[in-house]
Amino acid sequence: TDHEGLPTTILEAMSCGLPVVATAVAGTLEVVVDGETGLLAPPKNPEKLTTAILSLLNDKELRERMGKNASEYVKRSFDWDIIAKNFEEIYIDMIK
């Protein structure tokens, strides 16, 4: 597929401090910061996907750093208070 919507499974993994490997398609591009919170591979490219997976499996320091970054990113970007405030602002703008 060439898009993913909002990949909740990826967000759940990241919130648990896990780095992710995903394909660089719409949806994942909005939540995975390549090289910081996980690794992105081009779509329909199993070789690059395999390389990304193996690089995380073989590098504990990289996994831990990206996992910590992933957890902080989700907390910062998807906190319920922030989401609620964003919706509140949208609703206020709509009734003006």
Is residue 56 a contact partner of residue 13, using CB atoms and an 8 Å limit? no
SS3 content of the chain, % helix, strand, coil (to 5): 60, 10, 30
d(C-alpha 47, C-alpha 61), whole Å: 23
pLDDT in tens, 50-78: 999 999 999 999 999 999 999 999 999 88
At 1-24, the pLDDT tens digits run 566 678 899 999 999 999 999 999
Nearest Cα neighbor of 71 from 23, 31, 24, 29 is 31
Radius of gyration of the CA atoms of the chain, in A = 15
pLDDT value of residue 86: 85
| More confident site: 96 or 42 | 42
